[in-house]
Structure 1
Amino acid sequence: MATSQTHHVVVALESFYVPVPQLELPAPHTYELREYERTYPDQVAERIRDADILISTIVPIGAAVLDPSVSPRLKMVAIVASGVDAVDLEACRARGIVVTNTPHCNTVAVAEHAVALYFAARRSLVLSNALVQTGEWPKRGALQKYMNGPDGKPPKTCRDETLGIVGYGAVGRIVESMAKGLGMKVLISGRKGSATAPEGRTPFDVLIRESSVVLLCLPRSPESLNLISDAELASMKPYAVLINVSRGLIVDEKALLAALKNRRIAGYATDVYAQEPASSENNPLVGPDTAGLNLITTPHVAWSAEDTIDKFHKALRANIGGWLSTGQPKYRVA
């Protein structure tokens, strides 16, 4: 690190997500922390004006606030998350600002959340709960028919499921192991648009047709936008459930809602949305129009766990400490 400065102003913009740990800086470095629970885009410029090190999660850090006239002292952007799409990496590179992330910290929590969403969708837990809470059980005498799929059959058990995993990173591998332990057959997807797949993988279109459970756990990229839309939903088995713990915009939400209403698939469970926070004003999957559907919506919390926070803290310390001591953070992105 080409600087003689040893005292650093650390600005944390979003401790609401992950509390800032006590940093362990190598001697002779010291720091002062300016911590904000939440920061909105129009507040970023003012809050980072004196920052040497910026800690953030999802608030946009764009070219305008990265201009030297706005953040003249900024030398490092430490993202507490895997994704860094909120940061203008080119603007950082142009100024020599180091950008780091904290990958693989939430993989166990996300994998477990994905399995929880599977059971909730396959067993229609949210829909069943709503029917009980609204007094429908004594009115109707029995409610098990609401667990049936569009094929009219009761829900499958794990040993009769074929899980198709789209996105074979750390989360996908953990879910694969858990699913096999439950007795499921597991398919790993090849790339969409290719008629063939590498050894050990199943062509995407084949996986969509043959799986009774489809799990999405892949990054968002230009190639993965609307990966699941009308054509894919139409080719799924009528008793298929779709689980999404990836990113918003990978599933066409309007097409998904239509598929649920038309009983083309058995259920959908998601932790991510095209626009977040999701509400009835900005998302078709939220609000009264979804009543009676086997739809589970959690508020982008799959990552949340004590284990995740501990790993975030270790990775953040390693990034800042490594940068100050050797110029090489542990998880450098730019």
Structure 2
Amino acid sequence: MSTTTNHHLVVTQAGVFSPPIQFTAPPGIKLTQEHFKDITPDQLHERIHKASIIVSCWTRLDSVALSEAVTPNLKFIAVTAVGTDSVDLATCQRRGILVSNCPAANVESVSNHAMALYFAARRNVVQMDRVVKDGVWHKEGPSVALRMKDSNQGLGLTSEEETVGIIGFGSVGKKVAQLSKGLGMKVLIAGRKGQNETTKKGDIERTPFEDVLKRSTVLIIAVPRVPETMNLISTAEFQAMSADTVLINISRGGIVDEAALLQALKEKSIFGAATDVFETEPASAATSPLLAEDTRNLNLTTSPHLAWYANKTMKNYLTISPSNVHNFLLGKPTNLV
């Protein structure tokens, strides 16, 4: 059991949870709680000052927020999400603050969203919707189909013609592979960038990263955001892709170079792209070149980092995060990162 018998828990984004998230303490532990619907950056330091436990989804907890001056009593952070890039883990390690997450909680919803984005990009759904609503179809008639061709005057592939390259073969990557095979796609699993040989472990064969870029007609990015994956896909990688390629990013912003992606779309060196994430979030035309006015006619589908948003994910969060807190209070922390 935790050596401290009194804990104060602060939930920074209680408004996300439906039904409300609930935490209980084991016998012998006094747990006081504050649940804030949301916390703005200017409120953060004051509201977490007394916390020994912080429960957060995406609140940015940087080195200042995690300093002894701001959070002198902090012992544990329960990230109610899969990714933990919102937390300065180096500062946590230095101070001995434990951090947990909710692994695999969103696998179903994120993998489903990846496939939805694939179809949107491959079928050019956003542009099709736009030409209908803007009156272009009414004006041009059937010849509006010519707007949907790729740079080689191709009409787009069907799923059984696709080769999907999966970059990042964790829980989401594995589920995406399963769904892709169900659609008749050939699946390639990418090795680490810079490794030039095909490797096999058990029944999992990893194809060299550069070969996956060249051979795939669909690329799905599902890696965590760490220093090694920043700008993993940039100008050189886009140049290696075929004109048939659609790029799907359901990982984190910053892994795909947004300026390089925009250039590839404008030059039609790839067929299209779809992203659920941006380098700076919430994103706008002021923070991302992908949202500038001149991108409206590109085959680019976006969503506001809500690939995780589903009933099953919420149920998992409402189970896993309280369990992580309870186990920390018992002195047996779970799902530590």
The verdict on a shared fold, with TM-score over 0.5 as the criterion, is: yes
1:171 is aligned to 172
What's the offset of the Cα at 1:297?
A: 0.7
SS at match of 1:163: strand
Change (3 A) 1:266 1:22: same
2:148 equivalent in structure 1: 147
CA separation in 1, counterparts of 2:23 and 2:2? Answer: 21
Residue 301 of structure 2: aligned partner: 296
Match of 2:285 in 1: 280
> CA offsets per residue over residues 48-81 of structure 1, 9 Å max, x none?
1222211112222233333334323322211111
The aligned counterpart of 1:12 is 11
Is the Cα contact below 8 Å between 1:9 and 1:31 reproduced in 2?
A: yes
Question: Which piece of structure 1 moves more, 300-309 or 51-60?
Answer: 51-60
How far did residue 30 of structure 1 move?
A: 4.3
Q: Structure 2 stretches of 5 or more lacking a match?
A: none
Per-residue displacement from partner, 1:136-194 (whole Å, max 9, x unpaired)? 11100122223322221212111111101111111110010111011001111011122
How many percent identity over aligned positions? 42
Find the aligned partners of 1:196 and 1:40 in 2 and give their Cα distance.
48
**How high is the TM-score relative to the length of structure 1?**
0.94
Change (3 A) 1:204 1:87: same
Superposed CA RMSD in Å reads 1.7
Tell me the distance in 2 between the aligned counterparts of 1:247 and 1:96.
26
Matched, 1:214 2:215: no
Q: 2:334 matched to which residue of 1?
A: 330
TM-superposition CA deviations, 1:183-236 (whole Å, max 9, x none):
001111011122213121111111111111111111122222211111211221
CA contact (8 A) 1:124 1:146 kept: no
Q: CA deviation at 1:329?
A: 1.8
- The Cα shift of 1:249 comes to 1.1
The AA in structure 2 aligned to 1:82 is V
Q: Contact 1:247–1:272 (CA<8 Å) still a contact in 2?
A: yes
Q: Return the alpha-carbon distance in structure 1 between the equivalents of residues 16 and 133 of structure 2.
A: 32
Report the Cα offset of residue 253 of structure 1: 0.9
Equivalent runs, 1:1-334 vs 2, <5 Å = 1-6=1-6, 8-18=7-17, 20-142=20-142, 143-199=144-200, 200-325=205-330, 327-333=331-337
The secondary structure found in structure 1 opposite 2:173 is: helix
Instruction: Give the aligned residue type for 2:112.
Output: E
Q: Which amino acid in the other structure matches residue 12 of structure 2?
A: L
Aligned residues of 1:315 and 1:330 also touching (Cα < 8 A): no
1:265/1:80 Cα in 2 relative to 1: closer, same or farther (>3 Å)? same
TM-score computed with the length of structure 2 as normaliser: 0.93
Secondary structure of residue in 2 paired with 1:329: coil
Q: Which runs of 5+ in 1 are unaligned?
A: none
Q: Could you say if the C-alpha distance between residues 231 and 88 of structure 1 is closer, same or farther in structure 2, counting changes exceeding 3 Å? A: closer
Equivalences, count: 331
Deviation sequence 1:118-153 (CA, Å, 0-9, x none): 000000001100110000111001222233222212
Q: Secondary structure at the match of 2:129?
A: helix
**Greater CA drift, 194-203 or 288-297:** 194-203
Structure 2 counterpart SS, 1:54: strand
Deviates more, 1:231-240 or 1:169-178: 231-240
- Structure 1: which 4+ aligned runs deviate by more than 4 Å? none
